[in-house]
């Protein structure tokens, strides 16, 4: 029983830490995108923002990948949401790495007007693909934390709204990336707006997750 309690606290700690790192990186990307939009070295701002967003996706994916199967197996015998969660983490790893790579290549001026819009499209796809996994993960974490019914319903409503907003932001980011890729005029502006939308969505998602997980950890400490 003691081992189970320690395991739950460890999982919550890993998730909260990953969400905090994701949120900070995404918030920094928001700031850089805004600076680029107002005309401050837009190419460099867009490249670095792409790297930060990719790092945010990698941080979130790496923090939770090893815990997914353990938590799902413990709560549901290994059948509940495994495919959905696995798809979400795989997308975070693959697209996060791609966004970092494309950002670095653009930073050294290798076809930035093509690679940066491609990074925006990839980031939008990651947001859309991981929105369901994010909501499922939050619900599983609340189950593991044994939150009371009122807290569980409030948290479910919050993360459901965040997941829906993340999916819409993902589609909007994809559209902006496609337009930037096929329209020669204002490529960098459209790219920066896409990065702004994507990073803002990641910031909100990470804030919702880290807030709920840190709250659950505090309740665990009080209960123990």
pLDDT of residue 156: 67
For range 70-99, the mean pLDDT: 66
pLDDT of residue 199: 93
Identify the three-state secondary structure at position 111.
coil
Tokens representing 76? 């549901």
Q: Name the band, by pLDDT with cuts 50, 70 and 90, for residue 1.
A: very low
Please report how the helices 42-76 and 2-37 are oriented relative to each other, as an axis angle in degrees rounded to 10.
160
pTM: 0.76
Residue partners of 52: CB distance under 8 A and separation at least 6: 25, 26, 28, 29, 32, 199
pLDDT of residue 154: 66
The two most distant CA atoms of the chain are separated, in Å, by: 62
pLDDT of residue 166: 81
Tokens representing 11? 């999982």
Strand runs labelled E in 39-98: none
38-47, 102-111, 162-171, 188-197: segment of lowest average pLDDT: 162-171
Given a cut of 50, is residue 2 above it in pLDDT? no
Residues 87-104 pLDDT 10s: 556 778 889 999 999 999
Q: What percent of the chain has pLDDT over 70?
A: 58
| DSSP-derived secondary structure letter, 219 | H
Tokens representing 201? 């969505």
C-alpha span between 184 and 168 (Å, rounded): 25
C-alpha span between 66 and 85 (Å, rounded): 12
pLDDT of residue 149: 65
Tokens representing 164? 């829906």
For range 47-65, the mean pLDDT: 84
Given a cut of 90, is residue 83 above it in pLDDT? no
């Amino acid at each position: 029983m003691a081992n189970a309690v320690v395991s739950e606290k460890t999982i919550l700690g890993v998730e909260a830490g990953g969400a905090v790192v994701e949120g900070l990186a995404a918030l920094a990307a928001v700031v850089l995108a805004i600076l680029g939009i107002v005309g401050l070295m837009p190419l460099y701002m867009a490249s670095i923002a792409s790297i930060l967003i990719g790092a945010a996706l990698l941080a979130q994916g790496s923090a939770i990948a090893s815990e997914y199967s353990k938590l799902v197996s413990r709560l549901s015998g290994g059948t509940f949401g495994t495919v959905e969660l696995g798809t979400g983490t795989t997308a975070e790893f693959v697209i996060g790495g791609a966004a970092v790579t494309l950002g670095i290549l653009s930073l050294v001026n290798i076809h930035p007007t093509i690679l940066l819009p491609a990074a925006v499209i990839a980031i939008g796809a990651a947001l859309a693909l991981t929105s369901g996994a994010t909501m499922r993960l939050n619900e599983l974490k609340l189950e593991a934390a044994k939150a009371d019914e009122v807290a569980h319903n409030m948290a479910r409503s919050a993360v459901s709204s965040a997941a829906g907003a993340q999916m819409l932001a993902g589609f909007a980011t994809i559209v902006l990336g496609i337009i930037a890729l096929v329209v020669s005029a204002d490529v960098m502006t459209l790219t920066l707006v896409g990065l702004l939308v994507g990073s803002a969505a990641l910031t909100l998602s990470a804030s919702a997750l880290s807030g709920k997980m840190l709250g659950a950890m505090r309740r665990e400490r009080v209960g123990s």
